[in-house]
Each structure stands twice: as structure tokens, then as C-alpha cells.
Amino acid sequence: MGDRRAAAVGAGVRAWAGLAIFLVFSTPSSGFADQNDAALIGLFARLQAAETVQEAAPIEAQIWQIWSHLGEPRIDRTMAVGIAAMNAAAYEVSLRAFDKIVVAAPGFAEGWNKRATVNYLMGNLDASMHDIQQTLAREPRHFGALSGMGLIFDIIGAPAAAVRVLERALALHPHMLGMIERLIDLKNRAKGRAI
């Protein structure tokens, strides 16, 4: 269990770290955005229709761009501080930034998702799962939160639950990097437990 947990955490750290680096260097969109932006409907349709990882990547980046900026300068600055701290492995600083966001803008899904990520990186799996649930309550299409939930289910030894969650994530984003391989592995492990 220890080696599998370390491997799963390592894979999650690499996936979320790459995303965090993209987000800290992206520029805020003008005006109000977040998970309620009408542009997301078309972007998700295009993402699901994409035929390759290369075709899906810029669409995914646009979705993250919208999700990650509320369009309220104080919140967006705090988000940038939290992401930069997370990239520097200054998790306590990052956690404080995301705590401020979820208090100041509780309806902003990405504030919860970023706090879920930091809690995961700190090994606070219960807190991470709570924040993932809050994210999904606000943005059920959040494939990043769903993949994080799948990682947690895998770590705690619930591969069947991880399979269900990752299938939901891949229905939203069929070309999510590394998730197809992870899903195959989880299905094999879930079958092994069912025997």
C-alpha cells in the first residue's frame, strides 16, 4: 500500500504541478469569468469532439483559463499568489491564499479546487476530498477535480470507485493525459478484487 500510495501521489503531483505552472503564467481574462461563463458550453462540446491529445490541449487550456479567473482583481491576485506558492512547494502559504478565496468567494469553484490540490499535496486527503466535493457542487464538469477524486480513491484502496470517477472525467475530457492508462490499471485491479 505504501509504494502504491507514493506512486499515486507522485503521479498526481506531476499532473497538478504542470497545470499549476500553466495557470500562474496565464493572463487573466477581462471581465467576469469562472465556471458560469457561457463560453464553456461550446468549449466542452469541442473538447469532447477533439480527436487527438494535440487537438484537445488548446481547448483544455481555454477551459482552465476561464475557470481560474473570477474577474475580480483581489481574488485573481490571491489566486496567482496561491498558485505561485504551490509551485514553490510553499504549501502553507498556498493554503492560506486559497482559504481566503473560498471565504471571500465561496461560489467560485476553482478556489475550492486549488485548495483541494494543496490539501492533496500536503497529504490531507479528507480535506482534499471535501474541497473536491465543493468544487463539483459548483462545477460538475470539472474533470480536474474528478481526476483528483479518482487519485484519492486509488490511494485509499477503492479502485472500483476510482474507475467510476475517472470514467466520468474521461466522458468530459476524453484525451486527459495519463488518465486512459490509469483507468485501465484501475479496472484490472478492481477485477482482481472482485474475484
Q: Give the model confidence (pLDDT) of 48-96 as tens digits.
A: 999 999 999 999 999 999 999 999 999 999 999 999 999 999 999 999 9
In the prediction, which pLDDT does 9 show?
52
Q: Is the model's pLDDT at 195 over the cut of 70? A: no
**Nearest Cα residue to 43 out of 57, 54, 24:** 57
- Cα–Cα distances in Å, from 80 out to 14, 19, 89, 149, 176? 19, 13, 14, 24, 24
In the prediction, which pLDDT does 194 show?
53
In the prediction, which pLDDT does 186 show?
86
CATH number, domain of 19, equals 1.25.40.10
CA 153 to chain centre: 14
Whether 109 and 142 have beta carbons less than 8 Å apart is answered as: yes
Q: How is residue 29 annotated by DSSP?
A: P
What whole-number percentage of the chain has pLDDT above 90?
Answer: 70
Q: Which domain holds residue 161?
A: 2-194
In the prediction, which pLDDT does 31 show?
46
In the prediction, which pLDDT does 5 show?
52
Average pLDDT of the residues of the chain: 86
**Nearest Cα residue to 23 out of 61, 53, 58:** 61
**Nearest Cα residue to 129 out of 104, 163, 154, 107:** 154
Q: Confidence class of residue 16 from pLDDT cuts 50, 70 and 90? A: very low
Q: Is the model's pLDDT at 22 over the cut of 50? A: no
Q: Is the model's pLDDT at 46 over the cut of 50? A: yes
Q: Is the model's pLDDT at 164 over the cut of 50? A: yes
CA 133 to chain centre: 12
CA 75 to chain centre: 19
**Mean per-residue pLDDT, 99-117:** 97
Q: Per the structure, how many domains does the chain have?
A: 1
The residue among 8 and 156 whose pLDDT is bigger is: 156
Whether 154 and 186 have beta carbons less than 8 Å apart is answered as: yes
In the prediction, which pLDDT does 10 show?
52
